Structure formats: structure tokens, C-alpha cells
């Protein structure tokens, strides 16, 4: 198929992407409040004019990043769940490893964890940011709940607690362990082992 998209549209999309990539790094490393439009433009290699041709404000860019983060994360989670379902949820793989595989793909990268933390902080302060964060949270919860339910059914297991509470336990543990690993400067392998250890206990508590 011949690409008939106008060149200006492709250039505009490329500019938006580079600005968002630069902003994601800035917001993750320094926070949105300490990141100026000028600094974002300098890192992306564009002028202020290019910025304001794409975004009305730094806050609008941040909301766009929230949406992109949600889309990327949820797509990765869905793909991993579909892959696990194809491989067979009733295979020999331990339940905790099934859950861990999904949660790891949801944000094991340092930049992703930092940006996620910044989104949560800003959600506490700003209603618009809160709405964007809650949309991501709902999407993750729905997908992890789907996995837990399917695993329980495939293995003939029962839930000791309501499904939504089980999901909250797993997601809150994943967030806590991921952020603690950065705070303590833990090595990635050690952090994954810690996550697996904690998940094994939670899975034992919620499934019987």
C-alpha cells in the first residue's frame, strides 16, 4: 500500500513524539514542576514555537503522556496475557510466575517506574491528572482481574477474597516493590526475586 499521508502530518507527529519523549525523561527525572518548557525543547531539539504548535501548555503535554503511557502499558499487558493463554494457563507454570510475567511487563523499566510515580503524585494534586491516572489504573485492574479469574478457573482454584480486592493486593505490591527497588538502588535481578517472593505469599493468600 502506498503511503499517501501528507509529509507535514508525518513531520508534526514526529515532532510531537520527540517532545513527548524528552518530556517523559524530564518529568521522570525532575518532576513536572521543575521541568520547564525551555528545557524540554532543548532536550528534544526544538524551539518554543514548535512546542506551542503542538501543545497549549506543559500540563497538556503531561496529560498526553499519561494517555500514551496507559495505551502502551495496557497493550503490553494484553499481549502478555494473550501469550500466556495461548501457552496454556493450566500448564505447569506456577501461578505466581504467571502473575509476575504480566506485572513485570507493566513497567519494569526505571524510567517507567519514575514516570508512574510522578503521575501518581500529580494525580493527588490535580483533578485532570487524577482522571488520567484512574483510567490507567482501571485498565490495569481489569486486565489483571481477567488473568486471576482465568488462572483460577483453569487450575480449579477458588478465591479466598473478592476478585477486586485480590487485584488491588497484587497491583499495590507490584508498585511498592518497583518503587522501593529504585529507592534502595537494588539491582534488577534482586528486585525481580523480591517481587516473586512477595507475590508468592499473596497468591497463596488469595487462592485455594
Distance of CA 104 to the CA centre of its chain: 10
Tens of pLDDT, residues 24-51: 889 888 888 899 999 999 999 999 999 9
Q: For position 1, what pLDDT does the model report?
A: 45
11 and 69 both lie in a single domain: no
Full-prediction pTM beyond 0.85? no
Q: Are residues 88 and 171 in the same domain?
A: yes
Reported as a pLDDT band with limits 50, 70 and 90, residue 85 is: low
Q: Which residues pair with 159 in a beta bridge?
A: 207
Least confident of 59-68, 104-113, 193-202: 104-113
Pseudo-torsion of CA 65, 66, 72, 77, nearest 10°?
160
Our count of domains for the chain comes to: 2
More confident residue, 194 or 34: 34
In three-state secondary structure terms, 159 is strand
Higher pLDDT pick, 135 / 163: 163
Three-class SS state of 32? coil
The answer to whether residues 48 and 78 belong to one domain is no
pLDDT of residue 2: 46
Q: What is the CATH number of the domain that holds 47?
A: 1.10.10.60
Are 28 and 102 found together in one domain?
A: no
Together in a domain, 40 and 115:
no
Query: Do 120 and 96 sit in the same domain of this protein?
Result: yes
What is the reported pLDDT for 152? Answer: 81
Q: Do 74 and 43 belong together in one domain?
A: no
Instruction: Give yes or no: residues 32 and 135 share one domain.
Output: no
CA dihedral 170, 130, 119, 26 (to 10 degrees): 170
Q: Looking at the structure, do residues 85 and 165 belong to the same domain, yes or no?
A: yes
The yes-or-no verdict on residue 64 having pLDDT over 80 is yes
- 109 and 76 within one domain: yes
Same domain flag for 180 and 95: yes
> How far apart (Å, rounded) are the C-alpha atoms in residues 37 and 52?
9
Q: What is the DSSP string of 46-79?
A: --HHHHHHH-SSHHHHHHHHHHHHHHHHHHHHHH
Instruction: Note down the domain range covering 112.
Output: 61-206
Amino acid at each position: 500500500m502506498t503511503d499517501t499521508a501528507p509529509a507535514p502530518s508525518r513531520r508534526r507527529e514526529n515532532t510531537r513524539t520527540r517532545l513527548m519523549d524528552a518530556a517523559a525523561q524530564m518529568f521522570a527525572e525532575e518532576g513536572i514542576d521543575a521541568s520547564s518548557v525551555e528545557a524540554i525543547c532543548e532536550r528534544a531539539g526544538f524551539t518554543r514555537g514548535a512546542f506551542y504548535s503542538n501543545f497549549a501548555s506543559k500540563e497538556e503535554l503531561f496529560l498526553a503522556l499519561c494517555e500514551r503511557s496507559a495505551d502502551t502499558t495496557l497493550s503490553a499487558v494484553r499481549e502478555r496475557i494473550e501469550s500466556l493463554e495461548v501457552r496454556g494457563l493450566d500448564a505447569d507454570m506456577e501461578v505466581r510466575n504467571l502473575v509476575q510475567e504480566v506485572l513485570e511487563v507493566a513497567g519494569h523499566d526505571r524510567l517507567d517506574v519514575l514516570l508512574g510515580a510522578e503521575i501518581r503524585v500529580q494525580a493527588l494534586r490535580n483533578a485532570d491528572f487524577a482522571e488520567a491516572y484512574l483510567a490507567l489504573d482501571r485498565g490495569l485492574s481489569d486486565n489483571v482481574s481477567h488473568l486471576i479469574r482465568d488462572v483460577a478457573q483453569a487450575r480449579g482454584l477458588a478465591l479466598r477474597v473478592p476478585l477486586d480486592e485480590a487485584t488491588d493486593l497484587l497491583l499495590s505490591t507490584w508498585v511498592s516493590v518497583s518503587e522501593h527497588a529504585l529507592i534502595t538502588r537494588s539491582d534488577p535481578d534482586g528486585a525481580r526475586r523480591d517481587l516473586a517472593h512477595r507475590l508468592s505469599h499473596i497468591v497463596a493468600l488469595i487462592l485455594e
